[in-house]
Amino acid sequence: MSTNETTRPRKQWRPRIFYVVLVALLLISVLPIFVYHRRVLSISQQKLADTERLQQTEVTRSLVETIQLYQSSLHQQLTGQRQILALAGLIGNIDDEKNKGQVTTLLESLVSNNPNILYVTAVGQTVKGWGAGDARVMEDDFLKKAMQRAFFTAQQRAEFHSDPLAYGPDSRPAFIMALPLMSGTDFKGMLAAVISLDRILDWLNEKSVRGREVYVVDRNGKIVAHPKTREYVPGQDVSKTVPLVARLMSLEEKQRATETAPFFRTGNGKSEEMIGTYSTLPQLNWAVIAERSLDDARKDAGVEELTRQAIGVAVVVAVLALFIGSWSAFGISRPIRGLAESTQAISRGDFKQRAKVGGAAEISELAETFNKMAGDIEEFIAQLKQAAEENRELFLGSIRMLAAAIDEKDPYTQGHSGRVAKYSTIIGEEMNLSATDLDNLRISALLHDVGKIGVDDRVLKKPGTLTPEEFDLMKQHPAKGAKIMRPVAQLREMLPGIELHHEHMDGRGYPYGLKGDQIPMMARIIAVADTLDAMTTNRPYQAARELGFAMEQIRTLGTTKFDPVVVRALDAVVGSGKLRLSAALVEV
CB 522 within 8 A of CB 428: no
Each as own residue / partner, the long-range contacts of residues 423-429 (CB below 8 Å, 24 or more positions apart, any chain) are: 423/528, 423/529, 423/532, 423/533, 423/570, 423/579, 424/525, 424/526, 424/529, 425/588, 426/573, 426/578, 426/579, 427/525, 427/528, 427/529, 427/566, 427/569, 427/570, 427/573, 427/579, 428/525, 429/578
- pLDDT at position 408 over 90: no
Domain extent listing, the chain: 88-196, 410-576
Residues 17-33: pLDDT tens digits? Answer: 545 555 665 556 656 76
What is the pLDDT, as a whole number, of residue 588? 39
In terms of Cβ atoms closer than 10 Å to its own Cβ (0-12, 13-18, 19+), residue 372 is exposed
Residues 478-520: pLDDT tens digits? Answer: 888 888 888 888 788 988 988 899 999 999 999 999 999 999 9
Top pLDDT among 48 and 310 is at 48
Per-residue pLDDT, averaged over 35-39, amounts to: 67
**CATH hierarchy code of domain 88-196:** 3.30.450.20
**CATH hierarchy code of domain 410-576:** 1.10.3210.10
pTM of the model as a whole = 0.47
Report the mean per-residue pLDDT for the chain.
Answer: 79
Per-residue pLDDT, averaged over 224-242, amounts to: 86
- pLDDT at position 171 over 60: yes
Per-residue pLDDT, averaged over 550-564, amounts to: 88
CATH topology match: 88-196 vs 410-576: no
